[in-house]
Amino acid sequence: MRKIIVFLLIVSSALSCSKDETTNSATDSDSMVQQIGDTMASVDGSGGGDGGYALFAREAKTYARLQKQLPFAAKAYRSLSNTFMPKADATACRLVNTFGSCTNNQIVRDFQSCTIGQATFEGTVTIDFNDTAVDNTCAIASDGHTITRSPDFTITGPLGGEYAVSKTGSVGQRLTRTSAGVFDFTNDGIRRTLTFRSATRADFTTVTTSAIGVTGNNRSGRVMDGGTLRVTNNLNSATCDYSPSSVTWDTTCNCAISGSWALSCSDSTTGTYAITGCGTGTLTIGSDSESVTLDQCTTL
């Protein structure tokens, strides 16, 4: 099945071979849905589920697809995509332990300039555990305790593009325990950019305008419900809001495998993204529907 994997709100005319513009429709709907996958994967990762090679594979896939939209020949893209295939002889990130130990209630994942094919990962993802005591436990057990995830990394490829993920707020992505097995997910600013030859080709920021509810300590039966995620395309100031309803995990995927997200955008576009499986779903806008596959979701 052909996968429609384009980063959220990427304006096709900005990235095509024949044009160099940075604005288009406020809502490139099949693209903007991608950030739903990042949010679900981030919740999963904050809970300790982002181990090993999984994050590298997901982010490399996003970057490879983004590179396809840059002004390169199709042959060059195919060559780049091949470098991201999980080959034992060309994936140094598979061989590196990027996780630090729990020190002062913090775990730092340092990518150490590891590579997947010709793509280089640099930077960190820091996870802080606040349980009111610096006890090196890296766990939360009481109401009010938090887990905070702060990404700050880049992926650089052989064709010159750089994909960067960082926080723009003072906190990052946070899970706060409100009662046993019940959490609020908040995000005060995560930015994702793609640059090529000093030009910004894609630039998006996500925040929660109201906390998203999460129920369940583990993947099995975890449910995300209520709250609002806002995505802003910084190239044209377009925004879209997403609200989850009965978005439910099982043990087979780092993202939910059922449920839906309602969307409402600044150009008056409204619709739903109905999840049909691990990283798969149907986007419906008015009477039009299409399948959209999310980069950040991976079968376990």
Q: Give the residue, 75 or 106, on which the prediction is more confident.
A: 106
Q: How far is CA 200 from CA 59, 60, 227, 242, 264, in A?
A: 18, 19, 31, 25, 26
Q: Which residues contact 292 (CB under 8 A, 6 or more apart)?
A: 4, 30, 33, 34, 273, 280, 281, 282, 283
How far, in Å, CA of 141 to CA of 154, rounded?
A: 33
Q: For 26-30, 166-170, 187-191, 269-273, which range has the lowest pLDDT when averaged over its residues?
A: 26-30
- DSSP helix/strand/coil, 172: coil
Residue count (the chain): 300
Q: For 57-61, 122-126, 170-174, which range has the lowest pLDDT when averaged over its residues?
A: 57-61
Q: Which residues contact 80 (CB under 8 A, 6 or more apart)?
A: 64, 67, 72, 118, 157, 158, 159
How far, in Å, CA of 129 to CA of 283, rounded?
A: 36
| Mean pLDDT value across residues 156-182 | 93
How far, in Å, CA of 173 to CA of 183, rounded?
A: 13
User: Would you state the pLDDT for residue 82?
Assistant: 45
Name the residue among 242, 231, 276, 272 with its Cα closest to residue 256.
276
Give me the chain's average pLDDT, please: 81
User: Would you state the pLDDT for residue 160?
Assistant: 78
Q: For 11-25, 57-71, 119-133, which range has the lowest pLDDT when averaged over its residues?
A: 11-25
The answer, yes or no, to whether residue 87 has pLDDT greater than 50, is no
The answer, yes or no, to whether residue 198 has pLDDT greater than 50, is yes
Q: How crowded is the C-beta side of 295, counted as CA atoms within 13 Å?
A: 23
Query: What count of other Cβ atoms lies within 10 Å of the Cβ of residue 145?
Result: 17
| Mean pLDDT value across residues 257-271 | 95
Tell me the one-letter amino acid at 57.
A
pLDDT in tens, 44-86: 887 655 555 557 667 766 766 666 656 543 334 444 444 444 4
